[in-house]
Copies of this chain bind each other. A is one copy, B any other.
Amino acid sequence: MTTIHDQLIKHLDEAHAMEHDVLRMLDGMISTTRDPEVLRELEHHRIETQEHAEQLRARLRAHGVTPSAVRQLTGIVGALAKLPLDLVRSEKAGRNARDAFATEHMEIAAYELLKRVATRAGDDETVATCDEILEQERRMAEAIADDWDRFVDLSLLEEGVTTGDAA
């Protein structure tokens, strides 16, 4: 038997761990990205992600809790962060874009759920934090979705294929 407050703390703690996994993932992507515009986008979102982790830490503090290190709870993002680096081989641009797009939606889902748990727990400040973070995650997801053509071109370039090869 747990209370809605216990559930709120659990969701906040998991979101905090998730943002740390995302930071590691972004670092991996930044280290394999050469395109200056994509790099700028990733580095901008890395700063946002650090801020998200800090915002979640602040909400945990407000409830008198310090973040635990519940890495194993983060499911798909944790699994992604643990992928052996040799899987991140060639054709990085497309693969990074795909993984980042999925991860942004993992985060969107996590904050949609956290927001509703916070609403039911009467924690308006966490609701406001979720809305703020959701806006940034959505913007990042849209930036990726606007650029599929670029990611395909970059991938084909990495593979040594030019579009002129088309039959």
Nearest B residue to A150, CB-CB: B116
Counting every copy of the chain, the complex holds: 2
Q: Please tell me if A102 contacts chain B, counting CB pairs below 8 Å.
A: yes
Expressed in whole angstroms, the minimum distance between the Cβ of A93 and any Cβ of chain B is 10
Q: Please tell me if A68 contacts chain B, counting CB pairs below 8 Å.
A: no
User: Is chain A's interface secondary structure helix, strand, loop, or mixed overall?
Assistant: helix
Q: Which of the segments A34-42, A45-53, A54-62, A106-114 contacts the partner chain?
A: A106-114
Q: Please tell me if A98 contacts chain B, counting CB pairs below 8 Å.
A: yes
How many A residues, CB 8 Å from partner?
Answer: 53
A102 to B106, alpha carbons, bound, how many Å?
5
| Interchain CB contact under 8 A, A102 and B79 | no
Q: Please tell me if A159 contacts chain B, counting CB pairs below 8 Å.
A: yes
Q: Please tell me if A83 contacts chain B, counting CB pairs below 8 Å.
A: yes
Q: Please tell me if A126 contacts chain B, counting CB pairs below 8 Å.
A: no
Q: Can you report 6 A-B residue pairs in the complex whose CB atoms are below 8 A from each other?
A: A76-B103, A97-B109, A98-B109, A101-B105, A116-B149, A122-B167
Residues of A at the B interface (CB closer than 8 Å) are 1-7, 72-73, 75-76, 79-80, 82-83, 87, 94-95, 97-99, 101-106, 108-110, 112-113, 116-117, 120-122, 141, 144-145, 148-149, 151-152, 155-156, 159-161, 163, 165-167
